């Protein structure tokens, strides 16, 4: 839905570093119609080694530009750090739209009006000027071949891993809604040049709207301060960090605050699929403790099966397969008996989060029908990735995964067996899951390389469970019952 409020306060933000030869020309090229109507044109000189700041001050005095402000950072903040300061200024001043220009003249101020308009009308949250939308325009504008090829390769990688379809990730000519900027943690981004990549990822993560507009390409005698190989490495690293954060393997502050819920695990050897396969029979009653939105329920296909769910929060997108739901704090008021008796009780990714896992298991034991079983899924803290990290003194908590920051207990295979035995259960079946690479990079999940690697990881996990298993999936029955007592 587009915004229909009154006139927007628009600002133009110019980042400048050692731009003594070009800053005046950039200011001259801002169309007079734009210059007159914007609330402010402000330049942040990032502690240049030349007289960029003095050139800006002189321009303001000579041309009597009332809405031009020149600032100089006391120390160099870096390309990303300078943007942070400029966007924070836009937020503090109460602007609605901020357009980013570069003081080196690489981007054409003449088309500012065209880029600003969609954001000003509230149709999108950001407009990116792209040198790649018009076929051949970048090369005709003087973009060196190595930069053109590098741009296309990096953009293809980013689109593939992020599921986006931008023509270019690496243009610095951008217009942002200030309200949208205030929604993303851009302060946590890099101070280096890949700040631009991280803010794109943040806009994607927060569901903000981006549109591209074609811009002319110009390469003059400006000095490029970008180390190409370092930049490419950092761009790919940023994308991988986002994927690891979203999958819960690691936590990165620039991507915090979104995608914090557990999702259905869709990969071939996922715990949700395996738990669904362990539930055998018909006319069953299944209790899913900590059901969330119903990831496990989606893989239960037994005829005439009733699934009941318990969780602290009633998920608005809960699966319709969960026929009954009880909102309970498993830590304090766990009462599965209120829902009746069950053939299976599922505890997927739950026991590591509660302080009294034995008590929870004992209460589940009490509601099992004769021949019933519990199915438990626990992470393996002895996984090679954790061992490798400890070898170098690293123990990084994340939002999910083995080192989820909300875990209060950690389990090896022996510790998991001991937990069940202490709660009065005998293990009848134990399976494993590998690292869910297809869930980290879902856009690559159907490629033969990912499928082959995932299958190989599963075989390794089965061969050496203690080292390569990512999770243990355990089916257990009350101790003393013969294996044949399991309901089939």
| One-character DSSP codes across 354-417 | -S-HHHHHHHHHHTEEEEEEEEEEEEBTT-HHHHHHHHTT----BSSSTTBTT----B-HHHHH
Q: Are 83 and 100 in contact (CB under 8 A)?
A: yes
User: Cα–Cα distances in Å, from 364 out to 240, 252, 330, 425, 428?
Assistant: 40, 36, 11, 11, 17
**Number of Cα atoms under 13 Å in the Cβ half of residue 266:** 10
| pLDDT at residue 316, rounded to an integer | 82
* Tokens 């999108």 belong to residue: 124
| Other C-beta atoms lying within 10 Å of the C-beta of residue 46 | 25
Residue with tokens 């690489």: 106
- Per-residue model confidence (pLDDT) at position 259: 52
3-class SS of residue 326: strand
Quick one: which H or E segment has residue 442?
none
pLDDT category, 411, cuts 50, 70, 90? very high
CA nearest to 474, candidates 319, 357, 395: 357
For residues 351-368, b (16+ Cβ closer than 10 Å) or e, as one string? bbbbebbeebbebbbebb
b/e for 273-285, b at 16 or more Cβ within 10 A? Answer: bbbbebbeeeebb
Kindly report the length of the chain: 488
Strands of the sheet containing 425-433, edge to edge, are: 322-327, 306-311, 285-289, 342-348, 368-379, 471-478, 425-433
**Of 403, 384, 387, nearest to 460 (Cα)?**
384
Q: How far is it, in rounded angstroms, from Cα 155 to Cα 330?
A: 46
| Res. 486: pLDDT tops 70 | no
Which tokens hold the place of 177? 């809604």
Place of tokens 């899924």: 377
Cα separation of 100 and 110, whole Å?
A: 13
In three-state secondary structure terms, 73 is coil
Domains of the chain and any CATH numbers: 10-255 (3.90.550.10), 271-485 (3.40.50.150)
pLDDT digits 0-9 by tens, 81-104? 999 999 999 999 999 999 999 999
Mean pLDDT over residues 247-254, rounded?
77
Quickly tell me which residue has 């943690």 as its tokens: 185
pLDDT digits (tens, 9 = 90+) for 46-73: 999 999 999 999 999 999 999 999 999 9
Is residue 291 classed as helix, strand or coil in its secondary structure? coil
Give the confidence band of 257 by pLDDT, cuts at 50, 70, 90.
low
Average of per-residue pLDDT across 308-314: 91
pLDDT at 293 (0 to 100): 85
Q: Residue 75: CB partners within 8 Å, gap ≥ 6?
A: 47
Residue 294 has pLDDT above 50, yes or no: yes
Question: What residues are paired with 177 via a beta bridge?
Answer: 97
Q: What is the mean pLDDT of residues 479-487?
A: 52
For residue 437 the two structure tokens come to: 């690479």
- The C-alpha atoms of residue 388 and residue 188 are separated, in whole angstroms, by 27
Report yes or no: 458 and 469 within 8 Å, Cβ to Cβ: no
């Amino acid at each position: 839905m587009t915004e229909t409020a009154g006139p927007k306060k628009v600002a133009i933000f110019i980042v400048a570093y050692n731009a003594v030869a070009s800053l005046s020309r950039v200011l001259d090229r801002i169309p007079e119609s734009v210059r007159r109507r914007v609330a402010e044109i402000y330049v942040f000189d990032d502690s240049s080694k030349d007289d960029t700041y003095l050139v800006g001050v002189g321009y303001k005095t000579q041309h009597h530009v009332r809405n031009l402000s020149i600032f100089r950072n006391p120390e160099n903040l870096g390309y990303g750090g300078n943007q942070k300061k400029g966007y924070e200024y836009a937020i503090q001043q109460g602007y609605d739209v901020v357009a980013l220009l570069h003081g080196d003249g690489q981007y054409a101020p003449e088309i500012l009006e065209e880029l600003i308009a969609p954001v000003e009308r509230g149709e999108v949250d950001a407009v990116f000027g792209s040198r790649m939308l018009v076929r051949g325009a970048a090369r005709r504008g003087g973009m060196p071949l190595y930069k053109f090829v590098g741009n296309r390769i990096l953009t293809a990688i980013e689109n593939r891993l992020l599921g986006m379809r931008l023509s270019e990730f690496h243009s610095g000519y951008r217009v942002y809604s200030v309200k949208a900027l205030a929604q993303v943690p851009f302060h946590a981004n890099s101070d280096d040049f890949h700040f631009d990549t991280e803010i794109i990822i943040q806009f994607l993560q927060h569901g903000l709207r981006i549109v591209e507009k074609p811009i002319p390409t110009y390469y003059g005698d400006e000095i490029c301060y970008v180390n190409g190989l370092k930049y490419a490495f950092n761009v790919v690293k940023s994308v991988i960090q986002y994927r690891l954060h979203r999958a819960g393997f690691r936590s990165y502050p620039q991507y915090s605050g979104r995608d914090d819920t557990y999702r259905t695990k869709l990969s071939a050897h996922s715990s949700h699929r395996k738990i669904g396969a362990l539930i055998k029979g018909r006319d069953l009653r299944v209790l899913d403790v900590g059901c969330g939105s119903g990831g496990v329920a989606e893989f239960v296909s037994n005829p005439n099966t009733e699934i009941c769910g318990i969780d602290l929060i009633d998920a608005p997108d809960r699966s319709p397969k969960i026929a009954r739901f009880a909102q309970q704090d498993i830590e304090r008021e766990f009462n599965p008996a209120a829902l009746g008796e069950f053939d299976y009780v599922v505890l997927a990714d739950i026991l590591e989060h509660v302080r009294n896992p034995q008590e929870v298991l004992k209460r589940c034991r009490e509601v099992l029908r004769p021949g019933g079983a519990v199915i438990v899924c626990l992470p393996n803290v002895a996984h090679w990735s954790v061992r490798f990290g400890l070898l170098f003194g690293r123990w990084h908590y994340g939002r999910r995964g083995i080192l989820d920051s909300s875990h209060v207990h950690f389990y090896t295979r022996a510790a998991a067996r001991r937990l069940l035995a202490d709660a009065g259960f005998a293990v009848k079946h134990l399976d494993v899951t590998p690292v869910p690479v297809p869930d980290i990079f879902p856009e690559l999940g159907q490629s033969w390389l990912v499928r082959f690697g995932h299958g190989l990881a599963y075989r390794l996990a089965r061969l050496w469970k203690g080292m390569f298993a990512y999770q243990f999936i355990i089916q257990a029955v009350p101790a003393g019952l013969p294996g044949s007592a399991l309901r089939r």
